[in-house]
Amino acid sequence: MDPKITEVSQTFERFKAAVVRNDFDACTRLLSQLKVLLTSFTSLPPLFQETSNAIHELTIARDIYEHAVVLSVKMEDQDAFERDFFQLKPYYTDARGRLPASPQEYPILGLNLLRLLVQNRIAEFHTELELLSQSALDNPCIKHAVELEQSFMEGAYHRVLSARQTVPDATYAYFMDLLAKTVRDEIAGCSEKAYDRLSTSDARQILLFSSDKELLQYVEKEHPEWEMKNGFIIFQKVKDSVPCKEIPSLQLITQTLSYARELERIV
Amino acid sequence: MTQDVEMADQAPPSKSLSSADPSVLPHLKEIASLIETGAYAREVRRISRAVRLTMVLRKKLKASSLGAFLNFVLVPGSDVHSRLSSFLPKEDEHDMEVDSATSGTLASVKHSLPELEIYCYLLVLIFLIDQKKYDEAKACSSASIARLKTVNRRTVDVLASRLYFYYSLCYELTGDLAEIRGNLLSLHRIATLRRDELGQETLLNLLLRNYLHYNLYDHAEKLRSKAPHFEAHSNQQFCRYLFYLGKIRTIQLEYTDAKESLLQAARKAPQAALGFRVQCNKWAIIVRLLLGEIPERTVFMQKGMEKALRPYFELTNAVRIGDLELFKNVAEKFSSTFGSDRTNNLIVRLRHNVIRTGLRNISISYSRISLTDVAKKLRLDSPNPVADAESIVSKAIRDGAIDATLDHANGWMVSKETGDIYSTNEPQIAFNSRIAFCLNMHNEAVRALRFPPNSHKEKESAEKRRERQQQEQELAQHIAEEDDDDF
C-alpha cells in the first residue's frame, strides 16, 4: 500500500470519528489537512492520470468530499457546502466511467437542488436538473426536490411545508427549515395583496405560527405597515385601482421627440 | 493553367473505361483548378465557391473517381497521398496502377498546395461519412485536424471550417463527442489567435453543440458569454448559434430572450433545413407557452411540419384550455417524443402555466366563486385542495395574473371588475413598442446596406502587396519544409 494512501485513510478515519463526536473544530482541521493531502494524488480531477492506484484514490477522495458536504450541512455553512459540492461534482460527472456509483450520489445531488431552491437560484436549479438522467429523476431524493420546486412555483405552500415530514434524509432538515422561512415570507407577501383583511387567528394559521405572540413579533419585525385592529389584520393597500387620471406628460414628450428625431433621419 | 486543361482532357478517357460515373472526375478537377487560382490570387470567395460546388457532387462521389482525383492532385507516394488512399476501399488493382502511372508523371511537375491537400482531406472525409464508415472517418478527420493546426493561410479557413464541422459530425455519429472537446477548444483558441473568424464561429457552435449534447448548459453559457463576438460571416452558423443560445436561455428561465433567439433562428434558417426549423419551432412553442402566450394555429400548420409538431399542438391545446387532466394525459401520451426532444423537463415547468390559465378563465367567468369550486375546477389532486387553492390564488393575485381578492372567512374569491383598458396607459405603451420596433428595423436595414469595414484593404498599393505575398510564400515554404522534416 502506498504510504500516502495509508496516511490519507488514517486521517480520514480520525475525521469520521470527529464527525460522529460532532467535534466541528477537529473536523474542519482534519478536513483541510485531507484536502491538502489529496492534491498530491495525480489520478484525481482534473488530471485523471491512469495510475495503478487510480480507482482507490478516486474512491477515497470522493468519500472525503461527500463527508465534507454532509459536514457543511451539519455546520449550517452554505458557502462551504457550495465549495465542497463543486469539488465533489467532477467525481460524479467526469469520473462516472471509472468508478462504481456512490450510494450517496443522489442524496447529495438532491441536497444541492434544495440549496439552490432555498437561495432562490431557480435558473441554476434547472441547469442542474438538466444534467440528471430519467432514472435519477425517479430517485426519491431528487424527486423530493423537484416536487418542492413545482409546488413552490405554483404557490401550493402547504404542500411545501408538509414535505418537511417526508424528507428522504436527515440532512435535508436544515434546508427544509430555511425553506419554511422563505415560504412564510412568500405567504406574507401574497396575503398582503390578496386579502383586504384577515382575522388574527386566520392569519396565524395561514402564516403557520403556533401562537398569536409569534405572529405579533413577526408582523412587528417584517411588516410594520400592517395595521392590527379589533382582532383583525388590515393590510394597507395602496389604493391605486383608480385608473391613471393624470397624463404622464414628461414620458410623452420624450417619446414624441424621439419619433421626430428618427423621422428626420429617415427623411 | 494550360497544363491543367490538358490534364483534365487527358484523364477522363483513361478513367472512363473503369469508373462507373465518369462525369464526377472532370468536375472535381475543375474545382481543384478553382481552388488553385483562389489560393494563388488569395481570393477566399473562389474557395467558398469550390466548397459549394463540391456539395452538389457529394451524392455522386465514388471510391474510384476519388482515388483518381487523389492521384491527380497529390504527389503519389507522398505521405498525404498514401494516408488518404488507405481510407478508400480497395478496388481492382489494375485500375489503380494505370491511374498512378498516367497522372503520376504529370502531377509530380507541380508541388501540391496546402489548400488542395486540405481539400482532399475534406473530400475523403465527406465520402467516408456518406458511406457510413465512421471509424475510418474519425481517423481521417483527426489526421486532417492535425495537419490543419500547422497551416496558417486565410484561404484555408473556408475549407478548415468545413473540416471542423465534419470532424465533430463523425464523432457525434459514433457517440464520442466528449472525446474531442479538448481538441475543439484548442482549435478555437488557435482560430482566435489567427483571427480566423469563420473558424471561430464554426468552432464555437460545435463546442456549444458538444456541451448541449451532454446537457452541460452551465459550461455552454460560460463559454458563450466569454467567447469573442463579431458580426456573423455565415448565415447557417449564425442560425445555429441563435438556436443554441435560445436553448441555453430557455433552461435558464430567460424566456423573453430565448423566444427572440429561437424565432429569429427559425426565420433565418434556409428553407431546405427542415429538420432544423422543426427543432426551432418546437422549442419556440414551449417557450411561448411558458411565457403565457398561445402560439397561433398557423405555426403548427407550416408545410412539412404538421406531423412533427402534432404533440406540441395538443400540448398547446391543453394549456390553452387550462385543463390539468388533459395536460397530464398529453404529457404522458407523448412522453417518448418529448423525451427524445429533451423537452420533458420544460413540459414539467408548464404545469404551472396550465393552472394559471385555468385560474384566469375562472376569474373571467365568475364574479364570485368558492375556493372549493376553484379547487374542483382546477382538478388539484392534493390532500388539502382548498388550502392549496387559496395559496395558489393568492400567489396568482400577487403576480398580477388575475385581478381579484380573497375572502378567507367566507372562503371565496371575488373577481374585480375589469376596468376599461383604454382608460389606462396600456394602448400608449403598446403603440410605442411597435413604433420602436419599426424604427429599429429601418435603422438596421440602413446599416446593412453599408459596405463591410474591411473594404479599404483594396487600396493597398501594388508594391506592398507584392512584398507581402512574397513574405507569405516564403513562410509557407518554410512551413512546408518543416513539415517534411516532421514526417
Domain ranges of chain B: 1-175, 234-365, 366-419
Asked if B415 and B403 touch (Cβ cutoff 8 Å), the reply is yes
Q: What cell numbers appear for B71 in the block?
A: 492521384
Residue B348 CA to residue B371 CA, distance in Å, equals: 25
Residue B141 CA to residue B206 CA, distance in Å, equals: 15
- At A245 the pLDDT is 62
Q: Per DSSP, which regions of chain A are E strands?
A: 197-199, 227-229, 232-234
Q: Chain A within 8 Å of B403 (Cβ-Cβ)? A: no
Amino acid code (one letter) for B313: F
Q: A residues 204-233 near B, CB within 8 Å?
A: 206
Q: Is the alpha carbon torsion for B465, B194, B46, B237 positive or negative?
A: negative
> For the packed helices A172-194 and A212-222, what is the interaxial angle rounded to 10 degrees?
70
Task: Tell me how close the Cα of A35 comes to any Cα of chain B, in angstroms.
Answer: 25
Contact flag A190-B407 (C-beta cutoff 8 Å)? no
Q: Chain A within 8 Å of B387 (Cβ-Cβ)? A: yes
> For the packed helices B181-193 and B134-148, what is the interaxial angle rounded to 10 degrees?
30
Task: Tell me how close the Cα of A153 comes to any Cα of chain B, in angstroms.
Answer: 7
- At B452 the pLDDT is 66
What DSSP state is assigned to residue A50? -
Q: pLDDT tens string for chain A (267 positions)?
A: 578 888 888 888 888 888 888 888 888 888 888 888 888 887 777 777 777 788 888 888 888 999 999 888 888 888 999 999 998 988 888 777 778 888 888 889 989 999 998 888 888 999 998 888 888 888 888 888 888 888 888 888 888 878 877 777 778 888 888 888 888 888 888 888 888 888 888 888 888 787 888 888 888 888 887 877 777 888 765 555 555 567 788 888 999 999 999 888 887
What is the H or E stretch that residue B407 is in? strand B404-407
In this complex, which of A123, A150, A255 lies closest to B252 when CB atoms are compared? A123
Q: Closest Cα partner for B238 from B281, B294, B183, B200?
A: B200
CATH T-level fold of A189-241:
Arc Repressor Mutant, subunit A (1.10.10)
Task: Tell me how close the Cα of A248 comes to any Cα of chain B, in angstroms.
Answer: 9
Contact flag A154-B352 (C-beta cutoff 8 Å)? yes
List the beta bridge partners of residue A195: B406
- At B244 the pLDDT is 95
Per-domain residue ranges of chain A: 189-241
B404-407/B412-415 β-pairing? antiparallel
List the beta bridge partners of residue B370: B412
DSSP, collapsed to helix, strand or coil, labels residue A229 as strand
Q: pLDDT tens string for chain B (487 positions)?
A: 333 333 333 333 333 334 445 577 888 888 888 888 888 888 888 888 888 888 888 888 888 888 888 888 887 777 778 888 888 776 544 444 444 434 443 444 455 688 888 888 888 888 888 888 888 888 888 888 888 888 888 888 888 999 999 999 999 998 888 889 989 999 999 999 888 888 999 999 999 999 999 888 999 999 999 988 878 788 889 999 999 999 999 999 999 999 999 999 999 999 888 999 999 999 999 999 998 888 999 999 888 888 999 999 999 999 988 888 899 999 999 989 998 888 888 898 898 888 888 888 888 888 888 988 888 888 877 777 888 888 888 888 888 888 888 888 888 888 877 667 777 778 888 899 999 999 989 988 888 887 766 655 555 566 777 777 788 777 777 766 665 554 4
Count of Cβ atoms closer than 10 Å to residue B322 Cβ? 20
DSSP, collapsed to helix, strand or coil, labels residue B339 as helix
Asked if A179 and A160 touch (Cβ cutoff 8 Å), the reply is yes
Q: B residues 416-475 near A, CB within 8 Å?
A: 416, 419-420, 423-425, 428, 432, 435, 439, 442-443
Range B133-141, long-range pairs (CB < 8 A, 24+ positions): B133/B87, B134/B170, B134/B173, B134/B174, B135/B174, B136/B87, B137/B166, B137/B170, B138/B170, B138/B171, B138/B174, B138/B176, B139/B87, B140/B84, B140/B87, B141/B166, B141/B167, B141/B170, B141/B171
List the beta bridge partners of residue A234: A197, A227
Asked if B406 and B393 touch (Cβ cutoff 8 Å), the reply is yes
In this complex, which of A146, A157, A162 lies closest to B391 when CB atoms are compared? A157
Count of Cβ atoms closer than 10 Å to residue B108 Cβ? 13
Q: What is the dihedral of CA A104, A107, A109, A110, to 10 degrees?
A: 180
Q: Chain A within 8 Å of B348 (Cβ-Cβ)? A: yes
Q: What cell numbers appear for B78 in the block?
A: 507522398
Residue B320 CA to residue B292 CA, distance in Å, equals: 9
Residue B464 CA to residue B199 CA, distance in Å, equals: 27
Q: Closest Cα partner for B239 from B214, B273, B199, B210?
A: B273
> For the packed helices B63-73 and B24-41, what is the interaxial angle rounded to 10 degrees?
30
Residue B243 CA to residue A68 CA, distance in Å, equals: 39
Q: What's the first-to-final CA gap in chain B, in angstroms?
A: 30
Amino acid code (one letter) for B14: S
Task: Tell me how close the Cα of A265 comes to any Cα of chain B, in angstroms.
Answer: 9
Residue A156 CA to residue A160 CA, distance in Å, equals: 7
Q: Closest Cα partner for A94 from A36, A44, A132?
A: A44
Highest CATH level, class, for B366-419: mainly alpha
Residue B245 CA to residue A266 CA, distance in Å, equals: 33
Asked if B202 and B237 touch (Cβ cutoff 8 Å), the reply is yes
Residue B388 CA to residue B386 CA, distance in Å, equals: 5
Contact flag A158-B387 (C-beta cutoff 8 Å)? yes
Residue A190 CB partners (closer than 8 Å, separation 6+): A155, B391, B394, B395, B397, B398
Q: Is the peptide bond before B76 cis (omega within 30 degrees of 0)?
A: no
Q: What cell numbers appear for A199 in the block?
A: 382575522
Residue A87 CA to residue A216 CA, distance in Å, equals: 44
Residue B469 CA to residue B474 CA, distance in Å, equals: 9
φ, ψ of residue A244 in degrees (nearest 5): -55, 115
Q: What cell numbers appear for A29 in the block?
A: 482541521
